[in-house]
Structure 1
Amino acid sequence: MSDDPETARQIAELAADTRPLLVLDVDDVLLEFLRVFPNFLDQQGFELKLRTFKLTGNIIDKVTREEAPVAKVREMIDDFFGNQADWQPLTEGAADALASFGDAAEIVLLTAMPHKHRDARRLHLDALGLPYPLLTTEAPKGPAVRRLRGQTDRAVAFVDDIPHNLVSVRRAVPDAHVFHMMGDDEVRALLDPLEEGMHHVASWADAAPRIAEALGIPRGN
């Protein structure tokens, strides 16, 4: 696994920190995605029919009933993220859960998306009251989390909805506590079982106390 040079540059801008590290995905962890993306597709004349856990091959033209070509899928995803502030609300409980950790942990957001959308996502997160450092990556997430940890043995927790991101982090940081956040049982049924040592959480009410325990930090009220 290799570093994304732009992600490495973003990490280098952060101040050194020795607190327990909590790294969070954004889509379907902090911001709604799968629940709202179909509404966006509907306005484009398409619908989402999840038969496998991926977008390509599962976006259908409502008139022709044909699968959208890969290039069209990428174009629509790009348009969606360009206008994310119009579509993506906070995941229920996310802001309060993070606030409950106070200053006991370093919280960093790591989102897999084209770097060109970083500014738009930064503005949207700020408007929603999530001012935590934001990193974008176009490469596997494991190397970024390893770089974030630095030359320390501080505890690390990572939350994501995509299993291969959990695998990437576990390969790069073997002692990281990794949590798979997925509240939709029908979507979760499309996934292979999690690897041993990976923990499923259905919501922030479920996740917050388990993250705090993993990082050895107290939570506020």
Structure 2
Amino acid sequence: MTKPLLICDCDEVLLHMVSHFQDWLSADQSIHFDFESGKFADALIRKDGSVVPEAEVWPLLETFFRHEMHRQTLVPGAREALKELERHGEIVILTNIGDEAHGFRVDQLANLGLHHDVVTNRGGKGRPVRALLEKHVPSHAVFVDDLEVQHSSVAKHAPEVKRLHMVAEPRLAPVIPPADKAHARIDDWETATGWILEQWEIS
């Protein structure tokens, strides 16, 4: 009998990222990041008042993920939740960082006590989720992500997957509306664990 599958994002779901990215930008790059606004376009402002162009934002993120991942901290309850869910099913971390950072992410998660398969990706997650379904052939599958665009992508390419919208950063969650294509919005792991087990039909 096949096991159920959890396909889980990393940043702002398992690990805090934007708050640490904000701290690093301010301290090391003299850039203010107003992430609490929920508007990431034009949200990076240099100390002279100029907006950081979008073309420069991704290189800053790449630098952060390559050299500053040690700053990131676990979301409360995430490790305990995955430990419980692993008793009943399989877990894959699907994270939107470059393939070159795969090893960094694996080591980062392992150092925090999370030992799960990690799949890196660029862009929409719908096709990678479809590929994971074909690989694992799970009895049930749940996808967890903080971005509305990813729920839309998975709804398009793997509509049978149950989709949970989670924004675990407490300063960001209030300004992010529930994703239209998600089946539920839950921002804490204690509640989310029960919901996932229900979708897996585990009592």
Q: Quote the offset at 1:170 in angstroms.
A: 1.4
Match of 1:157 in 2: 142
For each residue in 1:84-140, what CA deviation from the matched residue of structure 2 results, as whole angstroms up to 9, or x when unmatched? 432111111100001012331110000011111111111111111111000000131
Q: Quote the offset at 1:197 in angstroms.
A: 5.2
Amino acid at match of 2:192: A
Contact 1:105 1:217 (C-alpha < 8 Å) held by counterparts: no
Q: How many pairs are equivalent?
A: 201
For each residue in 1:52-83, what CA deviation from the matched residue of structure 2 results, as whole angstroms up to 9, or x when unmatched? 64534110102x11111223212211111002
Match of 1:49 in 2: 34
Identity rate, percent: 28
For each residue in 1:143-178, what CA deviation from the matched residue of structure 2 results, as whole angstroms up to 9, or x when unmatched? 111111117462110000001101111111112111
Contact 2:95 2:119 (C-alpha < 8 Å) held by counterparts: yes
Identify which range, 77-86 or 43-52, moves more after superposition.
Answer: 43-52
1:99 to 83, 88, 102: 83
TM-score (normalised: structure 2): 0.89
Amino acid at match of 2:120: T
Structure 1 residue ranges without an equivalent (≥5): 1-16
Identify which range, 51-60 or 113-122, moves more after superposition.
Answer: 51-60
Is 1:169 aligned to 2:154, yes or no? yes
TM-score (normalised: structure 1): 0.83
After TM superposition, the structure 1 = structure 2 runs for residues 55-204 of structure 1, keeping only pairs within 5 Å, are: 55-62=40-47, 64-150=48-134, 152=137, 154-184=139-169, 187-188=172-173, 190-191=175-176, 193-195=178-180, 198-204=183-189
2:192 to 203, 207, 212: 207
| Counterpart-to-counterpart distance in 2, 1:206 and 1:157 | 15
Contact 1:23 1:145 (C-alpha < 8 Å) held by counterparts: yes
Amino acid at match of 2:113: G
